[in-house]
Amino acid sequence: MTYFNDMQSVGRNVSPRTYYFVILCLVSYIVLDFALHHSGNSQCADLVFDAAKAKAEKSIQEGLVLQEDPICDSVLGHLNSEPQFPVARAWNQMKWIGAPAKCKVKGHLIESLDVANNFRRGYALKYVGDVEDKTMVLPWLYGTKVDLNKRARRVYLDLGANAFHTSVQWFSRMYPCDFTEVHAWEVTNGLFRIPTPAFNEDTNWSPENSHSTRVVDTPQVPDWMTDRIKLYNAYVADFDGESTVNITRFMKEDLKLTAEDTVVVKMDIEGAEWPILERWVNDPEMADIIDELFVEVHYKHASMYDFQWSMFSHSREEAHKLLASLRARGFFAHPWP
Ligand SMILES: *[C@@H]1O[C@H](CO)[C@@H](O)[C@H](O)[C@H]1NC(C)=O
């Protein structure tokens, strides 16, 4: 009772000015809070933007190259391509798709170079019995990050094409770009055959299910696509000779490829890639021309002797360094299985 009486007397003794003061404080708080948390976002964004702009201007004045991490301009940055962030131990064996590399290429994430698994993760972890498996490269395709269809000329070069289904078919089906030209190089006569279009896309529909598209036969290669394929029976090399073609000269002078074109290159030429890639590492024009490069780098390592790789001379460490050098020079380069 005593307490109740005290409270009542306190209430009675407060002057109206105090009430006005408290109300004023509350209203000010609400107005301030609104200003800071709602319209305040754009102010924060401006501040961040100004800071970035000031930093960029300072770098330009000082003649520095703008880079999130300057080490990524060096071969070393790409050699230590293990992920930067802590990943669970299960990542080492559970995940078919590896972690992204520490350094980006062309501003985009790319897979870390999986040297210990011979760059063939799925095969090494026994997820698949096929050494040619390409699953691990799928999430990292440059064409999923940049729309390569926006350029008028879209060229796919398959250097060491083997049979049609080996890789030209894979790129035609799996790569998110509608190539306007396919240049397939295969030195073994008769191995690569441009398929005969034996099917008509327009009549390959089944009326069974009117709610969805259903085709009658597995879609094969239509003639509009085979018309775009050109076959070359010559060795892909770094020099012009009787049976060899200097592929760098061919791309620049014969095909007249430029940075304006979409250019995707797959290379699997049994060791002949070394002099070509060593040239490309030191040729910034090639780094600009080629949007994405897939290459099987051949090396001598006991773990690959089952595949007759004892005949190659470069070491696996050198192969790793070559891939890292390509990435450091701006090639969006992947090991090809
Ligand atoms: C191959 O072609 C490139 C580009 O034209 C040229 O710079 C290079 O010297 C050629 N290679 C050889 C071994 O001549």
Nearest protein CA to atom 12 of ligand 1, as residue: 239
Nearest protein CA to atom 14 of ligand 1, as residue: 239
- Total domains in the fold of the chain: 2
Per-residue pLDDT at 157: 98
Statement to judge: residues 310 and 285 lie in one domain: yes
Statement to judge: residues 153 and 283 lie in one domain: yes
For 84-104, what is the mean pLDDT? 79
For 127-143, what is the mean pLDDT? 95
As a whole number, the mean pLDDT across the chain is: 85
Which of 235, 236, 238 to mutate for ligand 1's pocket (most ligand atoms within 8 Å of CB)?
A: 238
List the beta strands (DSSP E) in the chain: 154-159, 181-185, 229-232, 235-237, 244-246, 262-267, 292-295, 333-335
Examine the pLDDT at 213 and tell me if it is beyond 90.
no
- Domain assignment present for 69: no
**Looking at per-residue confidence, does 145 or 42 come out higher?**
145
Contact, 246 vs 239, CB < 8 A? Answer: yes
Residue corresponding to tokens 């972690």: 99
- pTM as predicted: 0.79
User: Of the residues 11, 33, 58, which one is the last residue of a structural domain?
Assistant: 58
Statement to judge: residues 161 and 125 lie in one domain: yes
Statement to judge: residues 7 and 109 lie in one domain: no
Query: How far is residue 3 from each of residues 7, 13, 15, 91, 157, measured CA to CA in Å?
Result: 6, 16, 21, 65, 91
Each residue of 46-63: pLDDT tens digit? 333 444 445 445 444 444
**Looking at per-residue confidence, does 293 or 223 come out higher?**
293
Per-residue pLDDT at 50: 43
Determine which of 58-72, 197-211, 264-278 has the lowest per-residue pLDDT on average.
Answer: 58-72
Nearest protein CA to atom 4 of ligand 1, as residue: 249
Q: With cut-offs at 50, 70 and 90, classify the pLDDT of residue 2.
A: very low
Ligand 1 centroid – CA 238 distance (Å): 7
Determine which of 15-29, 102-116, 140-154, 294-308 has the lowest per-residue pLDDT on average.
Answer: 15-29
- Domain assignment present for 85: yes
Statement to judge: residues 79 and 185 lie in one domain: yes
Collect all residues with Cβ–Cβ distance below 8 Å to 277 and sequence separation of at least 6. Answer: 295, 297, 322, 326
Nearest protein CA to atom 10 of ligand 1, as residue: 239
Residue 253 Cα: closest atom of ligand 1:
5
- Greatest mean pLDDT range, 9-18, 75-84, 209-218, 318-327: 318-327
Contact, 78 vs 84, CB < 8 A? Answer: no
Per-residue pLDDT at 295: 98
Percent of the chain with pLDDT over 70: 82
Nearest protein CA to atom 6 of ligand 1, as residue: 249
The domain of 252 spans: 75-193+219-335
Ligand 1 centroid – CA 283 distance (Å): 11
Examine the pLDDT at 324 and tell me if it is beyond 70.
yes
With 0-12 / 13-18 / 19 or more C-beta atoms within 10 angstroms meaning exposed / middle / buried, residue 5 is exposed
- Domain assignment present for 198: no
Q: State the CATH number of the domain containing residue 236.
A: 3.40.50
Q: With cut-offs at 50, 70 and 90, classify the pLDDT of residue 201.
A: confident
- Domain assignment present for 271: yes
- Domain assignment present for 26: yes
- Domain assignment present for 89: yes
Examine the pLDDT at 11 and tell me if it is beyond 90.
no
Nearest protein CA to atom 13 of ligand 1, as residue: 239
Percent of the chain with pLDDT over 90: 62
For 20-33, what is the mean pLDDT? 76
Helix (H, G, I), strand (E, B), or coil: what is residue 7?
helix
Phi, psi of 315 (to 5 degrees): -85, 165
DSSP 18-74: HHHHHHHHHHHHHHHHHIIIIIHHHHHHHHHHHHHHHHHHHHHHTTPPP-S-GGGGS
Statement to judge: residues 123 and 13 lie in one domain: no
Contact, 183 vs 259, CB < 8 A? Answer: no
Pocket of ligand 1 (CB under 6 A): 238-239, 246, 248-249, 252
Which of 244, 247, 248, 280 to mutate for ligand 1's pocket (most ligand atoms within 8 Å of CB)?
A: 248
Distance CA 85, CA 80 (A): 13
Ligand 1 centroid – CA 248 distance (Å): 7
For 312-318, what is the mean pLDDT? 97
Ligand 1 centroid – CA 249 distance (Å): 6
